[in-house]
Amino acid sequence: MTAHEGSGTRERLIAAAAELIASSPGEDFSLRAVCDAVGVKMPTLYHFFGAKQGLIDAVVEHGFDLYLGQKSAMEHSGDPIQDIRAGWDAHVAFGLQNPGFYTLMYGTVRPGYSPAAQSRPSEILRELTARAAGMGRLVVPSDQAAAHVLVANIGVTLRQIILAEPDPALSAAVREGVIAAITGADGDSGDPVATVVELAAADPSALGEAETALLLSWLARLRARRSGAADG
């Protein structure tokens, strides 16, 4: 097998696994089904990915490639806060359109681990909050602002995926609450972190016990950091 043929086989295996995941969001998939779809034997799959987790990690990276491809096509307004709004809406839309990919990208939790590909969209968000901070538009450190946005965005998106019901009013309310919190703008959206805490605590089964516990832990840390910054 030449290097070119090997690369082509690897990409076809990823595409086959991605198609299985997309067609049955949240369900396990068979490695044999992936191999059958490509017309190769199991040793070939193990050669490229080592184990099932290696293939899943490759599919996750593929999902982030799709997501970032959509984000790169977005026009920038020149206003970092408005671009954060647009990025939030694009994040939710991608999750609802690609629940199979999204639940692997953000909903599959292993304590202490995050896919390396997650850092790519997070860096884009941190660049926006850093620009906003440079313009004097944030009342919290830029990294903390990015964390507020990301955690709330993930929570809102996962909730809609689990419930299989888009809720644009909820998404907009939490989005504006987050923006009010990081910019100090007046608004009636309340505390966005508290909003997501209440949603997760009200129905722990929606995300699953482990996912809910991790989400609540993240949010509690964010609230504690923000309280500490305010006291200082």
Give the span between the Cα atoms of 30 and 52, in whole angstroms. Answer: 9
Residue 77 maps to a domain: yes
In a domain, 55, yes or no: no
- How many whole angstroms separate alpha carbon 173 and alpha carbon 181? 12
Are residues 104 and 168 located together in one domain of the fold?
yes
- The answer on 102 and 129 residing in a single domain is yes
Residues 38 and 113 grouped into a single domain: no
Same domain? 82 vs 181: yes
- CATH no. for residue 103? 1.10.357
Tell whether 13 and 73 lie within a shared domain.
no
Give the distance, in angstroms, between the CA of residue 67 and the centroid of all CA atoms in the same chain.
Answer: 9
pLDDT tens-place string over residues 38-97: 999 999 999 999 988 899 888 888 888 888 887 777 777 789 999 999 999 999 999 998
C-alpha–C-alpha distance, residues 142 and 134, integer Å = 9
Domain presence at residue 57: no
Structure pTM? Answer: 0.70
pLDDT digits (tens, 9 = 90+) for 173-206: 999 999 999 998 754 444 555 555 555 555 555 5
Domain containing residue 85: 63-231
Counted domains in the chain:
2
Pair (117, 85) in one structural domain: yes
For residues 140 and 226, give the distance between their C-alpha atoms in angstroms, rounded to a whole number: 8
Give the integer Cα–Cα distance in Å for 104 and 140: 30
